[in-house]
Amino acid sequence: MDRILIRGGNRLTGKLPISGAKNSALTLMPCALLTEEPVTLRNLPRLADVDSFGHLLNQLGVSTEIEGARPSDFGRVMTMRAGRLTSTEAPYDIVRKMRASILVLGPLVARAGEATVSLPGGCSIGNRPIDLHLKALEAMGARIELAAGYVKAIAPGGRLPGGRVAFPIVSVGATENALMAAVLAKGGTVIENAAREPEIVDLCNLLLAMGASISGVGTERLEIEGVERLHGATYRVMPDRIEAGSYACAAAITGGSVELVGAKPDDMRATIAALIDAGVTLSTAPFPGFPTDMQAQFMAMLCKADGASVLTETIFENRYMHVPELARMGADIQVRGRTAVVRGVDHLVGAPVMATDLRASMSLIIAGLVAQGQTEVSRVYHLDRGYERLEEKLSAVGADIERVGDG
């Protein structure tokens, strides 16, 4: 298995290109299921999760074609065609590797009248149930059956009627599934307490480009009028606000200065405000609050700040798996329940470390950039799920970082 070696101490300076957003890509790709016409996504990041989603779509009968992918390019263009679906099932071996597979549920039931998806189970950042996805589809008229680790959603008569979905808590994925199901329903749907993440806006914009009728885009109340059919579209994936935020933390911890080329500051206000204010008290919250996907990277940065900071993780119950690893590098962090108190230390020390999820792995990279000596991050496959060519981007701005294979 590959590892990443970092020798800390270099200041990062220069230009760093920001890729297309992973979490946007993973909700734009299933939109291809909603039409027999081609859907083309530009600026699609080259990530393991995007490849896995492509394979899942292939299994359902969607063809995927990649253009203009020179090894030196960032991003790709992918055209997906779902002329005729050959399956409506997302099997366990794919879903267990990539939770975002659940996002085929809504579009499949909308297009084919039924969908079967393996239950994803827990993951390293928490339980992550899918009850809200199922309740939303039920509220729109789907019949839900659970059997042998799979969930089946059926639209009686082949098409969902639509309905009123009121989420008790904000869920990005459940909002996405509800939206993709609603656009082809017979009638109208209202989604209340919808997530407002920029990735949801990106999804709405693609659906609008495909001929959907949606109002309230970017607000907590979305109104969708179902249409008979949707057509193809070409759409550019938004820049990755979490990748950009991660590299901002990396630059800050090294005392450097990087230009995040292509980043969209409007989508990153809470992160930017927190960066300006560092040495802070912060709680993660749904957008426009501070993103849970930035918590680990921010914590790593605060390990070297002057004074103490207090972080509270309100979205996922188990998202502090990076803390013991950062502590092995000399960080002073105390966790009580959902709150972590980080006291800045003079120096961090390189060590062999590993993390159990994507953002936690990135926090170890950030700490490694400033640690004395060498840090060796294993389980690099987590990083490959969400950071396009990380070591190449960081070495181009001056980091001493390389990927090595076993042997």
- 83 is a contact residue toward ligand EPU (CB under 6 A): no
- 172 is a contact residue toward ligand EPU (CB under 6 A): yes
- 40 is a contact residue toward ligand EPU (CB under 6 A): no
* Residue 78 Cβ vs ligand EPU, minimum distance, rounded to whole Å: 17
- 241 is a contact residue toward ligand EPU (CB under 6 A): no
Which residue among the candidates 31, 123, 204, 303 is catalytic per the annotation? Answer: 123
- The residue among 45 and 330 lying less far from ligand EPU, judged by its C-beta, is 45
In the region spanning residues 59 to 78, those forming contacts with ligand EPU, defined by CB under 6 A, are none
In the region spanning residues 306 to 345, those forming contacts with ligand EPU, defined by CB under 6 A, are 315-316
- Phi and psi (nearest 5°) for 165? -110, 120
Among 110, 132, 252, 394, binds ligand EPU (CB under 6 A): 132
- The residue among 67 and 131 lying less far from ligand EPU, judged by its C-beta, is 131
- 166 is a contact residue toward ligand EPU (CB under 6 A): no
- Indicate the residue whose CB is closest to ligand EPU: 173
Q: Which stretch binds ligand EPU (CB under 6 A): 88-96, 170-178, 213-221, 345-353?
A: 170-178
- 19 is a contact residue toward ligand EPU (CB under 6 A): no
* Residue 383 Cβ vs ligand EPU, minimum distance, rounded to whole Å: 11
Q: Is 123 tagged catalytic?
A: yes
In the region spanning residues 364 to 393, those forming contacts with ligand EPU, defined by CB under 6 A, are 386
Structure token digits, residue 10? 């270099």
Q: Which stretch binds ligand EPU (CB under 6 A): 61-69, 120-128, 219-227, 325-333?
A: 120-128
* Residue 330 Cβ vs ligand EPU, minimum distance, rounded to whole Å: 25
In the region spanning residues 141 to 160, those forming contacts with ligand EPU, defined by CB under 6 A, are none
Enzyme catalytic residues: 123
Binding site for ligand EPU (CB under 6 A): 23, 26, 100, 126-133, 169, 171-174, 292-293, 315-316, 358-359, 386
